[in-house]
Amino acid sequence: MLKIGRLADYGLLIAHYLEQRAEQVTTEEIARGTFIPVATARKLLKYLVDGGIVASRRGLRGGYQLARPGPEISIADVIQAVEGPIALTECNRGSGNCELEPTCALRDSWSFINDLVTDRLKTFTLADIASDMRHPPAAAQVQVVQAK
């Protein structure tokens, strides 16, 4: 269960949809276009607005739009907007969440691993999703280098 919440997945779907449309779109349209239930889409849009991923306009003729260009929105941004900070383990959300903490030998390691994963997700953007996956984006070309 190293997994992402369904809502985060939907969030990315919505972000991707908005990038494609590139104009003001209403909640209902988004819901129809992504096949996500309207009520759920509403909830998600709020998260995305609060997270600065999406810009909203209220009132008649209102709607949503991406707040920034696609290449500037990473997967990590979307996940964090929907689910809060990425924390693989409890101890990574701060002290006092795990009763094993005082004796645990892995705390620093988990912190480190958490950063590895987060940084990795920051290199992959909405624009990369839009492009053909068969030709991996630049961000996907990683090389492991022996230290020293």
Binding site for DNA (CB under 7 A): 1, 3, 5-8, 10, 26-28, 37, 39-40, 42-43, 45-46, 49-50, 56-64
Quick one: 60 or 144, whose CB is closer to a second copy?
144
**40 φ/ψ angles, rounded to the nearest 5 degrees:** -70, -40
SS3 125: strand
Provide, rounded to whole angstroms, the least separation between the CB of residue 126 and DNA: 20
Please give the Cα distance from 53 to 14 (Å, whole number): 11
Quick one: 50 or 57, whose CB is closer to a second copy?
50
Quick one: 4 or 130, whose CB is closer to DNA?
4
Binding site for a second copy (CB under 8 A): 1-6, 8-9, 12-13, 16-17, 34-36, 75, 79, 83, 86-90, 100, 103-106, 108-113, 116-117, 119-121, 123-124, 128-129, 133, 136-148
DSSP state of 133: T
DSSP calls for 85-118: S--SSGGGG-TTS-TTGGG-S-HHHHHHHHHHHH
Please give the Cα distance from 62 to 117 (Å, whole number): 37
Provide, rounded to whole angstroms, the least separation between the CB of residue 84 and DNA: 9
